[in-house]
Amino acid sequence: MKPNKVVFSVRDLSISYSAERGRVKAVTNVSFDLHEGETLAFIGESGCGKSTLNLGLLRLLPRAGQIDKGSITYTYRNGRQVDIRALTDRQLKRFLWAECSMVFQGALNSLNPVLRVSDMVYDTARAHNLDRSEAKKRALELFEKVRLEGKRVFTAYPHELSGGMRQRVLLALSLLLKPQVIIMDEPTTAVDILTQRSILEVLKELRRELDFSVIFVSHDLAVAAEIADIVATMYAGEIVEMGPVADVFYRSRHAYTFSLLDAAPRLSAGDQELHSIPGSPPDLIEPPSGCKFHERCRFATDICVSTQPELIAETGRHFAACHHSDRVLATRKEVVQV
């Protein structure tokens, strides 16, 4: 892995939501680095905290949510660093889009239905003091890059575009101000197979041509396998394993990553013996003791109930928080023949 500059550096970040019964600990002690030019994918089941984490990074949490502790350090292109938590609201507004933008699931919800695409371009331009004609020029270029008819799309209303086109419009708009980082939350989840394919291809092309990093949130292991450089598995609000995509998939060190892969059908794998994970994700108001996965884990022993495992480096950039990472690895190697 190339030792590029770190763009996002997150340390001990914890986020919780207030609920009737108490505080929901949605994200607990999360630390990671996003390097320049990399795609980092967060995978995990619904409710594992992956979306909360990414909303938290940009302070876009809903009212009930709050960052309890931790730091989010962002490094500008010129090397200057800033803690996102310390930005004023005005500074944050300028930061979003220009430095870091987001593409959400369900493009229809993210595009204002009563505005033309052009209005959204101009709005963004105005908010960031960008010249109108310059903004239009750049938008048209980006639309072509994501394989849309620029002129037609520019004057269209969202309802005149298909789901795949809208998702590509969002992708293009997110790049309008040349941000360093794009955060994408399940960008291909609600779309059809061939539409998903064209979005993935467009994304890969953009990555080759333009200079930006991606944080990608998905429950779809296959999409992560295809586009991620680094994969982080989240469970019950924590990163339980993180590393280069091949390490995490072929040399899994955490029982939960192992179990997720063991439940994922693969098209080209012939007749497969797969296994579900028993039970369901834990209550995050009163999370289980020790390793939060122990109740559902086929590798669990007494120590998993009593002691919380620490995230430790296995090799290079591969980390896992599992008491039985050697057993997991040995079992995974039996399954994978690479």
Contact code string over 129-158 relative to other proteins, x by CB under 8 A? ------------------x-----------
Largest CA distance in the chain: 65
What separation in angstroms does the CA of 4 have from each of 9, 34, 114, 213, 331? 13, 9, 42, 11, 33
**Least distance to other proteins, CB of residue 264, Å:** 4
Question: Quick one: 195 or 308, whose CB is closer to other proteins?
Answer: 195
Query: In this structure, is the dihedral angle defined by the CA atoms of residues 302, 304, 309 and 313, taken in order, positive or negative?
Result: positive
Question: Quick one: 114 or 269, whose CB is closer to other proteins?
Answer: 269
Question: Quick one: 135 or 232, whose CB is closer to other proteins?
Answer: 232
Question: Quick one: 230 or 311, whose CB is closer to other proteins?
Answer: 230
Q: Does the protein bind other proteins through residue 159 (CB under 8 A)? A: no
Binding region for other proteins (CB under 8 A) out of 75-83, 99-107, 190-198, 320-328: 190-198
Question: Quick one: 70 or 164, whose CB is closer to other proteins?
Answer: 164
d(CA 70, CA 246): 29
What residues numbered 7-66 form the site for other proteins, per CB under 8 A?
45-46
**Least distance to other proteins, CB of residue 16, Å:** 22
**Which member of 3, 88, 194, 208 binds other proteins (CB under 8 A)?**
194
Question: Quick one: 225 or 311, whose CB is closer to other proteins?
Answer: 225
Q: Does the protein bind other proteins through residue 200 (CB under 8 A)? A: yes
Cβ(222)–Cβ(200) below 8 Å = no
**Which member of 20, 89, 209, 271 binds other proteins (CB under 8 A)?**
271
**Which member of 119, 152, 278, 310 binds other proteins (CB under 8 A)?**
278
Binding region for other proteins (CB under 8 A) out of 80-88, 126-134, 186-194, 306-314: 186-194
Number of residues in contact with other proteins under rule CB under 8 A: 45
DSSP letter (8 states) at residue 309: P
**Least distance to other proteins, CB of residue 72, Å:** 28
What residues numbered 205-264 form the site for other proteins, per CB under 8 A?
219-223, 225-226, 245-246, 249-250, 259-261, 263-264
Burial 95-133 (b: 16+ CB within 10 A, else e): bbbbbbbbbbbbbeebbeeeebbbebbbebbeeeebeee
What phi and psi values does residue 151 have, to the nearest 5 degrees?
-65, -40
Q: Does the protein bind other proteins through residue 118 (CB under 8 A)? A: no
Cβ(261)–Cβ(249) below 8 Å = yes
Q: Does the protein bind other proteins through residue 277 (CB under 8 A)? A: yes
- In degrees, rounded to 5, the angle at the alpha carbon of residue 261 between the alpha carbons of residues 259 and 265 is 120
Q: And the tokens for 220? A: 């779809």
Beta strand segments in 179-296, E: 181-185, 213-218, 230-235, 238-244
**Least distance to other proteins, CB of residue 115, Å:** 24
- In degrees, rounded to 5, the angle at the alpha carbon of residue 97 between the alpha carbons of residues 92 and 99 is 75
C-alpha gyration radius of the chain: 21
Q: Is 200 exposed, middle or buried (0-12, 13-18, 19+ CB in 10 A)?
A: middle
DSSP letter (8 states) at residue 180: S
Binding residues for other proteins, rule: CB under 8 A, are: 45-46, 147, 162, 164, 192-198, 200-201, 219-223, 225-226, 245-246, 249-250, 259-261, 263-269, 271-272, 274-278, 280-281, 338
